Structure 1
Amino acid sequence: MNVFRSLRAVSEASGTGLVDWAKAGEAAKASTEPGRLDLTPADREGYATDVRDARDRLREVAGVDFAVPDAIEVQNRHHWIDANRETFRNVMEPIEAAATPAMPELSRVVNTGSMAFALGFLARTVLGQYDPLLLADDPDADHGLYFVHPNVVAVAADLDVAYPRFRRWIAFHEVTHAAEFGAAPWLSGYLESRVERGIDGLRASGLDPDAFAELQTAMTAVEGYAELVMDRAFDDEYADLRRKLDARRGGGGPVTRLARRLLGLGLKRRQYERGAAFFERVADERGLAAASAVWERPERLPTAGELDDPAAWLARVDP
């Protein structure tokens, strides 16, 4: 890690946009150790087997049919930064096109530093990721499934759990996201439309609260369903893994907790908890197939009110 090189990259930000994305990536990588990626044949086979077994178990237990992406990558932290810099850029591009900052050079440096901080922090935190390529330049590109191997190994050691078992549980979580988007071909377009509406509102110096509310509600369903199904489909004990990972999500030192607040990770944690509570109630009352029915069409997504009142959702959709 070279903090000086990271700061220098940020200070050299140039171009015409709000963010110099090349320098943001350079600064993020300079401030982040890549981590070791010296995978053994057993490691590589382990990831492949975990993904394959998770797919088969999810098809059986949740009753949803889907394909696992061809692009399954085991990455280090720098690989993750490179893969997600484009995602950040795609989201920011419409805002950049409309913005006219009073001090463009200074704004570019500040914004580049903010993006570098976000990319670096997340690269040190993310364990796995299903990437549906929202707002991608090529909508027909294959979705991605990533595992940040150094983080998986480090967190398993930090939680004092066996690495192969922890890796497998994380694979079940990410493959569950692949199942959601595979079972609901409309989901990517639904989320993109809400993001675009929200961005259009910001560009017009206004705000579309309905778009952001619908986006947050949908993402709560996405995260909550994954939390439920990864546990119920997992073919080993998981209570200790769940307890330890939940504690870790809310822990860390003052700097880590501040970073999580700045990046909205507290909101993501609440999405996990609120969505999981909704689907637990639905599955306990009607079975997992009823919970999976949420992906049949957009009208079956719960409303914000129904997330806290699963009985109202069941009465409305009667899955």
Structure 2
Amino acid sequence: MTDLPFGFNSQDPDDRGKRDDPSGRSGGESPFGVGPGGMPGFDMGSLGQMLSQLGQMLSQASQHSSGPVNYDLAKQLALQQINSGGRDQPPSAGQHDATTEAFRLAELWLDPVTTFPVGAQSVRTWSAKDWVDSTLPTWRRLCDPVARQVSSAWTDMLPAEAKQNAGPLLSMLGQMGGMAYGSQLGSALGQFASEVLTSTDIGLPLGEPRTAALLPSNIDRFTQGLDRPANEVLVFLAAREAAHLRLFSHVPWLRQRLLATVEEFAHGIRVDPNAMEELAGKVDPSNPASLEEAMRSGLLEPRSTPEQKQALTRLETLLALIEGWVDLVVGEALGDRLPGADALRETLRRRRASGGPAEQAFATLVGLELRPRQLRAAATLWRGLTDRHGVEQRDSVWNHPDLMPTSADLDDPVDFVEHFGRASSELDDPLAALRRAEESAAAGDASSGGEERTDDDQDDQGRGGGERP
């Protein structure tokens, strides 16, 4: 065999076949198609040792993992990154009391500007470690579909001949895909936990249902860069968290729709064969850290497919609508009460638009980036619905997924506002819409029905004088 599967490439093609391997095969032949020049400083006599080391590494990494991602490894890497910074402090009793009071005030101010009642049943103050522990179950639901598809792609893309020769290597390749994703997830979560301000910072319900949470240590660092009082920032962030919880607690289809859209994205994943070759060539089986370094280089980023782009557009649109709604109601609730509310809203908008750590982590793991144009367009749409139809009609858009604006509606929010009343009335009274459709069909039949019956009668008479069997 002259081609080298599994991504083991010779550094110098001219050296290929110049040496005989220890098994007596000349010209670089081997049962795996790996020539003696396949990896620098490595010959076939080391194949058994390499496979043993690789198998041990994968076995240790997946010892406690029952899915496509080793979440124990991800958690360990995340906590190592948090501890290395030395800035994560457990929340104090005073910080918890201040957070509780901020939520009480925020909920009171949100009541008049939305029809959704209070969604949070408990208030928590988290350290960065608490955030990792509390959000990991949701990350599992978000990441498993993507990681499962990446892991299977490593083996599915191999040619039949390579699969036959590979034998037990196939399971190792599958594990490596999941392990690589786990390593990438742990690194992202470590950065995420050190910067995130609330449990819903990217518009997703990452925490426990009906649990509102703020991270005081991260908020203190965030406040240092602002020219606003700390208590004002705390109330503003509490209002955003409370608004998210009202939405996620009282729109039953929303959470599942978000997760289902991520799964749709995962089904379209295709791994670039050239990237897989390059990744395999960079991984040193005796050095697990080399896998993380290779993954950070972005080699395993999946290729975009039309199906993925459609799923990402839907997910991007839904997240923009969530963010736009929260931005509007928080602005209405706090605008006349907190002097710096507008400035804080703009700060968070810019933080999102510039690709802050939260958005970058989500983009790395799922492939999604929220565009600032959509966020502002969504806020404009919700504002238009409020001004034209009122708070109750605006919030009724969340009653059914079929009422939700699409990406095209965000391109022209004014048109959506103009036509919203007609669409919502048909969903509010589907029987009336059905009766109108039946009446329209009956009117059409009345204009042509007589001739159709005459033709039928003539056909019957022609077949037997009108007598029916």
TM class by smaller structure: 0.7 to 0.9
Q: Mean alpha-carbon deviation: is it higher for 270-279 or for 156-165?
A: 270-279
Q: Which runs of 5+ in 1 are unaligned?
A: 1-8
Aligned partner of residue 73 in structure 1, secondary structure:
strand
Q: Distance in 2 between matches of 1:256 and 1:306?
A: 26
User: CA RMSD of the aligned region, Å?
Assistant: 3.5
Q: Is the 8 A contact 1:11 1:109 kept in 2?
A: no
Question: Counterpart of 2:177?
Answer: 107
Question: Counterpart of 2:170?
Answer: none
Which of 80, 90, 93 does residue 30 from structure 1 map onto? Answer: 80
Aligned partner of residue 72 in structure 1, secondary structure:
strand
1:182 alignment partner AA = S
- Match runs of 1:249-264 below 5 Å: 249=352, 262=364
1:297 alignment partner AA = H
Confirm or deny that 1:60 pairs with 2:127.
Answer: no
Q: Mean alpha-carbon deviation: is it higher for 273-282 or for 232-241?
A: 273-282
Kindly tell me: are residues 68 and 155 of structure 1, through their superposed partners in 2, closer, same or farther at Cα, counting changes over 3 Å?
same
Which of 13, 33, 51 does residue 61 from structure 2 map onto? Answer: 13
Q: Which runs of 5+ in 2 are unaligned?
A: 1-56, 156-172, 271-304, 425-469
Percentage of identical aligned residues:
24
Aligned partner of residue 124 in structure 1, secondary structure:
helix
Aligned partner of residue 316 in structure 1, secondary structure:
helix
Return the offset for 1:111.
2.0
Return the offset for 1:244.
3.5
Confirm or deny that 1:282 pairs with 2:405.
Answer: no
Q: Is the 8 A contact 1:80 1:123 kept in 2?
A: yes
Kindly tell me: are residues 55 and 249 of structure 1, through their superposed partners in 2, closer, same or farther at Cα, counting changes over 3 Å?
same
Which of 227, 236, 242 does residue 338 from structure 2 map onto? Answer: 236
1:61 alignment partner AA = V
Return the offset for 1:132.
7.0
Return the offset for 1:241.
1.9
Q: TM-score, normalised by structure 1?
A: 0.79
Q: Distance in 1 between matches of 2:190 and 2:268?
A: 29
Q: Mean alpha-carbon deviation: is it higher for 277-286 or for 10-19?
A: 10-19
Q: TM-score, normalised by structure 2?
A: 0.56
Q: Is the 8 A contact 1:51 1:175 kept in 2?
A: yes
Question: What are the superposed Cα offsets for residues 189-243 of structure 1, whole Å, 9 maximum, x if unpaired?
Answer: 333333333334549x983654443332222111111111111111312122233
Q: Distance in 2 between matches of 1:224 and 1:252?
A: 17
Kindly tell me: are residues 265 and 93 of structure 1, through their superposed partners in 2, closer, same or farther at Cα, counting changes over 3 Å?
closer
Q: Mean alpha-carbon deviation: is it higher for 243-252 or for 176-185?
A: 243-252
Aligned partner of residue 160 in structure 1, secondary structure:
coil
Q: Distance in 2 between matches of 1:247 and 1:215?
A: 20
Aligned partner of residue 225 in structure 2, secondary structure:
helix
2:184 alignment partner AA = S
Larger radius of gyration, structure 1 or 2? 2
Question: Counterpart of 1:76?
Answer: 127
Which structure exhibits the higher relative contact order, with contacts defined as CA atoms closer than 8 Å and separated by 6 or more residues? 1
Q: Is the 8 A contact 2:91 2:126 kept in 1?
A: no
Aligned partner of residue 61 in structure 2, secondary structure:
coil
